[in-house]
Amino acid sequence: MTQENSRFAPDAEARVNEFLAAVDRALSAAGCSQAERQNVADDLQAQITEMVGARLGADSQKANFSDVEAVLGELDPPEAYASAAQEQPVGAGAATSGAESFRSHAEPETRGGGPHGHCGPRGRRGWWHKWRSRADIHAAIRNVLSQGNPFAIAPLSAFDERARRAVAHAKNEARKWQHNYIGTEHMLIGIAMEEGGLGAIILKSLGLEASRLRDEVGKRVKQGPEPITADLLPITPRSQRSFRTAAEAARSLGSDSIGTEHLLLGLIAVPDGLAARVLIESGASLDRVKEEILKAAGARRGGARAPASPAFWPAGTAKSVSLGGDLYTLVATGQETGGSHAMIELRAPPASPGLPSRVLWRADVALYVLQGEIKVSAGERSMTVGGGGFVNIPRGTPHAIRNSGDAAARAMLVTTPAGFEQLLAEVGTPISGADATAAPDPDQLQRLIATAPKYGVEFRVAD
């Protein structure tokens, strides 16, 4: 890495070097000269740096492993390659059997062009633009991009032994089907085959054993035309997304390793994947599967510790912060309850946008409306709740809470266990006065989104 890449953390720098080394090997096997390989490496390295810089913006922190993985996932937009392929002169090369064969069998996926699609800080238009006339170079690089290593996707967690075996089962299952890729459907069967894993236990409780899942997959896909002899099978884009989500879920749920239950969570987080479709059409709703996983994960973590002694706080001494135009008063925090729960008073002025839709992976949320009208969207349901109304939101459920009336609204939020209030305290603007609020701050929202994963929270902001 060059000096201009000094913002890369060591693990991120190692990941970029690993990727460039794999590209160099692929280009060498394709017969490219040393000069060509070096030129391609320089272009890719500069583009990755450019994209990571755009991702981090003015933030002074170093790019981490996840930043690099996200950029590599956007480095190969199919629509850009398609237009480039049309510009290839006749006889530009036929070395497209690797990546292009994979693309023809893998689940199609469209990604956004991102800042690298046109003109970035360096005025680049993507590696595919410069090398548009070289089908051999395109095929080699795209083959490396497609062959994502699932065990390299999780920099902060490691796959546990059962999860590793589930991936091995998935690979063998793909070979049996004579598929030259590992798709979400193979991963689903692989998880079910690892009978001692929590993922398989949950699937079995829903009547979905490996044999039934194999039959269901067989109704939707056909066996490949010939046996697979390659040792390394590419991971489809949707499977790669599921692995990344599994890593995030493991961290959010407080696990120090990725288990089969996290792999299953990753699959249902990709609703357009074949695995999710098989689950739905087999009678297992994705919400039900998620509920069972979170319930089992919570039982394994055990309950919260008991508080050392009763806690008393005089009126008016609780900390209040403003976020998204609303006022949050931290009536009781995990420090006072031994982590068992937190109590938060929400005051929302009329027309307040509130916080974006979020998912609390580690806590259930109970909401009791004291005054006014609160619109609650949870999962696929949405309703307006008036004074005296109550809503229970299980952990893992996407939800949004905002004032939907013409008057000020008040509600009490209880999260079990505690933790969400720590996020509010860290990012919120301190406020004095029960009725005071601060105007929504876009920069504060970005800090909230960036800080949320530390507390097991995910905010979902529409593009």
User: Quick one: average pLDDT of 47-73?
Assistant: 76
How many C-beta atoms lie closer than 10 Å to residue 367's C-beta?
Answer: 21
Residue 120 confidence class, pLDDT cut points 50, 70, 90: very low
Residue 1 confidence class, pLDDT cut points 50, 70, 90: low
What's the whole-model pTM score?
0.41
Identify the weakest region by mean pLDDT among 117-121, 186-190, 233-237, 298-302. Answer: 117-121
Task: Select from 44, 113, 128 the least CA-distant residue to 463.
Answer: 113
More confident residue, 230 or 428: 428
- Structurally, at CATH architecture level, domain 319-460 sits in Sandwich (2.60)
Average pLDDT value over all residues in the chain: 77
Convert the pLDDT of each residue in 336-353 to its tens digit: 777 788 999 999 998 788
In the prediction, which pLDDT does 121 show?
A: 37
More confident residue, 281 or 11: 281
Whether 81 has a pLDDT exceeding 80, the answer reads no
Range 327-336, long-range pairs (CB < 8 A, 24+ positions): 327/431, 327/434, 327/435, 327/436, 327/437, 328/424, 328/428, 329/434, 330/421, 330/424, 330/425, 331/412, 333/418, 333/421, 333/422, 333/425, 334/417, 334/418, 334/419, 334/421, 334/422, 336/307, 336/311
Identity at 331, one-letter amino acid code: V
Convert the pLDDT of each residue in 99-112 to its tens digit: 222 222 333 333 33
Convert the pLDDT of each residue in 299-335 to its tens digit: 554 444 444 456 666 666 688 899 988 999 999 888 7
Residue 211 confidence class, pLDDT cut points 50, 70, 90: very high
- Structurally, at CATH architecture level, domain 152-301 sits in Orthogonal Bundle (1.10)
Strands annotated E in 138-275: 158-159, 257-258
User: Quick one: average pLDDT of 90-118?
Assistant: 32
Whether 76 has a pLDDT exceeding 80, the answer reads no
- Scan for tokens 């939800």, then name that residue: 399
Domain span(s) for CATH 2.60.120.10 in the chain? 319-460
Determine contact, residues 259/201, Cβ cutoff 8 Å: no
Convert the pLDDT of each residue in 384-424 to its tens digit: 999 999 999 998 899 999 998 889 999 999 999 888 998 99
Domain span(s) for CATH 1.10.1780.10 in the chain? 152-301
Task: Select from 451, 416, 414, 415 the least CA-distant residue to 323.
Answer: 451
d(CA 51, CA 39): 18
Tell me which range, 21-25, 134-138, 425-429, is most confidently predicted by mean pLDDT: 425-429
Convert the pLDDT of each residue in 144-181 to its tens digit: 775 555 554 554 346 888 888 898 899 899 999 999 88
Whether 379 has a pLDDT exceeding 70, the answer reads yes
